[in-house]
Amino acid sequence: MLEKLYLIKYLLINTTQFLCFSKTTKTIFTLTFCLILSFNLRICPVFANDHVSQPTKYIALDADMSGNTKEAGKALQRGIELALKEINDAGGINGVPLGLKIFDHRANPARGVYNIQKIAEDKDILAVIGGVHTPVALEQLPNIHKFKVPHLGAWAAGTTIVDNGYDPNYVFRLSVRDEYAAPFFIQEAQKRGYKNIVLFLEKTGWGRSNYKALTRDSANAGIRIEFTQWFFWGDKKEDFVARIQALKQYNVDAIILVANATEGAAFVKALAELPEDKRLPVISHWGITATDFPSFVGPAVHDIDLSFLQTWSFDHKGAKAFKEKYCHVYGPCLSTRDIPAPVGTAHSYDLTHIVAQALRKTPSLSRESLWDALHNVEYYDGLIKKYEFPFTKDDHEALDISNFGLYRYNRDGEIIKVNQGLYEK
């Protein structure tokens, strides 16, 4: 295997040097070839030591590794790597080491579908950990179940990713579920005394998942949704200005935002241009934190009352020790802002350790055995919480509303709990 890797490296260096810089009429072919090589050949042995040989079994990560949410992809990768190092340093899975293979879907559902097919063809890959985008995960569902590849969601929150109608269901999730996020948002709105709200939702499966849950839970809580503004991937600040101007027609107390970082940044910039007394407070889903949002937005991020959902941050018990471990490998860390999308790292770290616990219970290192064993993990003391049977045959969700908290950015761009300090000293 090592000889093959060195051969690939040799071909990459020499072939790309010739192709990428030769001045021929085959420029389009050349660039396409180089991009394919750079995006798809990513194998991570994960900190091999003297006691662990080249990995023979793998976990895959399929996420956006090169687009607008690449910081979240990096966070997920690092959580997996840190967990795998601990697993392999302890002898792997009954002596068999685990590695990581990375696939980049670039937030493109078609690419995500293709990646699941390629993952399925690699019999050494036991499971795949998924990334930020609900639309990608939804499109992957047929292939996940056709090829019976355990899919472990570490970020995407769409309710129907897990409640997908497949039996047996090969999707597990350690992340937010929109059906649970909606009552959390409504509870937080009630705490602040909001009676009338407006929804700003991206027009995707993720936005529709939140719309269904939010309209149900707001009605039950006596909160009125005045209207819903839908927007699209790629919308700019100018696209949001007119939508925000429409707020003047309504008696609105607050906005609930469901957006990823690109559109979230455009929304915040547009809202911040209003006179200060006209800027409504915003409770946001966590998609905006899939990148360094303060850098994405600039000073405007501090010009509005913006809070957002998280399941983990540096106020959690044990977070300081984990930060030291993280920064030892990936540092230096001058502040927690040097740790991109930390919730993604925590999710993928806990998921990887739960997978390892399941694999230790299997008679063989196979996907079918892993799927079955995931239902029998009794306990894991993780970063986010102490898990007791994180997955059962009837429930493939490891987290619930009790694991959610409301956070904000401080003046240094660090994620902190609303009205609380950074982390326990």
- Across the range 108-112, mean pLDDT stands at 98
- The helix/strand/coil state of 316 is coil
Query: Residue 25: pLDDT above 90?
Result: no
Query: Residue 134: pLDDT above 60?
Result: yes
CB of 52 within 8 A of CB of 88?
yes
- pLDDT for 421: 42
Token pair listed for 160: 């129907």
**How far is 266 from 84, CA to CA, in rounded Å?**
37
Report the b/e string of 109-144 with b at 16+ CB within 10 A: bebbbbbbeebbeeeebbbbbbbbbbbbbbbbbebb
**How far is 175 from 72, CA to CA, in rounded Å?**
13
Ramachandran angles phi, psi of 57, nearest 5°: -130, 150
CB of 177 within 8 A of CB of 151?
no
Q: Where residue 317 falls among pLDDT bands split at 50, 70, 90?
A: confident
Taking only the tens place, the pLDDT of each residue in 136-181 is 999 999 999 999 999 999 999 999 999 999 999 999 999 999 999 9
Which of 155, 218, 161 minimizes the C-alpha distance to 350? 155
Q: Where residue 53 falls among pLDDT bands split at 50, 70, 90?
A: low
**How far is 137 from 62, CA to CA, in rounded Å?**
10
- pLDDT for 383: 97
Torsion of CA 6, 8, 12, 18, to 10 degrees: 100
Torsion of CA 55, 60, 66, 69, to 10 degrees: -130
H helix and E strand count, the chain? 14, 15
Question: Tokens 């009794």 correspond to what residue?
Answer: 378
